[in-house]
Amino acid sequence: MPGVSLSASGLSKRYGATEALRLDALAVGPGERVGLVGNNGAGKTTLLRLALDLIAPTTGVVALDGVRVGGPDLGWKARVAAFLDAGFLVDFLRPHEYLRLVGGAYGLSGAEVDARIDRYRPFLGAALDGGRLIRDLSLGNAGKVGIVSALLPGAGLVVLDEPFAHLDPGARIALERLLRDDTDGATVLVSSHDLDHVVGVCTRVLVLADGRLVRDTPSTPGTLADLRAYFADGAVRA
């Protein structure tokens, strides 16, 4: 499926007196792989949840391929897949059952889901072994199931929040390769504290601080050093 464009204008989200996010404008082109980085409370997850219509903006608009998120046209939902946290999982199912459930929601047959699971079997590894329920998996293996559930439909926009958390080093490297080389032209939004892997995956990195976009830079050989220096300087000031 072709990558989906994302735009935001005049976007804000408030919780009482606290403004969690304010973006005057943002544009993400089809097929871009965009990393969101920032300290806790920077607004990363808020932006992802607004993009998925999980929360409503206080002001402004998010649009996917020009269609307003939260509007009457719901066709964009079939082109988006996401895994933000364990709340997305149905933990009384086995991984294979859950992936079939997700695939079915996107109109895939059982055979198509099984073929796509085989594609991700090396990454899933022990998450598929033993017929265990998702609730009985380690955090890392449950996370793998959630990540694959977002990749499996072949959506035009894939949204992941902290996908590298709880993964062992080998799985982190494997995930980096999947997101960089095996998303079939999808637009990818990844929020993470892991600067190394964000730079390894993404073509563009957005830095958020206190709900504001403070940096928007293409990923280059010098980006990782620049980001480390930026956050180290902030730690010194703090």
Listed in sequence order, the residues at least 6 apart from 24 whose beta carbon sits closer than 8 Å to its beta carbon are: 9, 10, 11
Helix, strand, coil shares of the chain as percentages rounded to 5?
A: 40, 25, 30
Average pLDDT of the chain?
95
Tokens of 221: 């050989």
Q: Is the pLDDT of residue 238 over 90?
A: no
Q: Rg of the chain over CA atoms, in angstroms?
A: 18
pTM for the predicted model, two decimal places: 0.95
| Short-list 14, 37, 8, 16, CA closest to 216 | 37
Q: What is the pLDDT of residue 149?
A: 98
Q: Is the pLDDT of residue 201 over 70?
A: yes
Give the residue-averaged pLDDT of 28-51: 97
Please spell the DSSP secondary structure of 188-207, one letter per residue: EEEE-S-HHHHHHH-SEEEE
Give the residue-averaged pLDDT of 175-183: 95
Give the residue-averaged pLDDT of 98-104: 97
Q: Is the pLDDT of residue 235 over 60?
A: no
pLDDT category at 129 given cuts 50, 70, 90 is confident
Overall size of the chain counted in residues: 238
